[in-house]
Amino acid sequence: MILFIIITLGTFVLMEGVTWCTHKYVMHGFGWFLHEDHHQPGYPHVFEKNDAFFVVFAIPSMLLFYFGIRPELNYMFFIGLGILLYGLAYFLIHDVLIHRRFNWFKNTQNRYLRGLRKAHKIHHKHLGKEEGECFGMLFVPFKYYKKIQ
């Protein structure tokens, strides 16, 4: 059982690297046509084309859940669980805390959460796909914590 916990937590941590690479090389590369509306200030719709990336990340997780219980519970299930947990954390940080798509955690004074928000705001100061910075989500450079006012 401890191995399954390690696999789940390890997958969660590795997903930050997957997210960073996907954000830098796919979303700001050949997938820019889906991500571009996310960088437009005041985008008026509830959903963005960028939300398609949630589906892209959900498919491997669902497949791993499916194959992780056949013929019996195995490591693939826990890899899928790590991806799912990262997706939930991403949703809470990115959509709720940073972009305020929901009015939760509106007035947080937590230094870590404020640092995440600051780093993402700096990422969004670039409206084009070039010259971006800070492509991660949960682990951001310490310099962004120093910029908190």
Q: What is the mean pLDDT, run by run of 10 residues, along the chain of 149 residues?
A: 96 94 90 85 72 89 96 96 95 82 76 80 73 75 68
CA separation (Å) from 140 to 71, 102, 112, 118, 134? Answer: 40, 23, 9, 10, 7
Number of structural domains found in the chain? 1
pLDDT at 7: 98
Q: Give me the domain span that covers residue 12.
A: 2-146
Exposure string for 106-127, b = 16+ CB within 10 A, e = fewer: eeeeeeeebbbbbbbebbbeee
Secondary structure of residue 78 in the 3-state scheme: helix
pLDDT at 44: 57
Secondary structure of residue 28 in the 3-state scheme: helix
- In one-letter notation, the amino acid at residue 130 is E
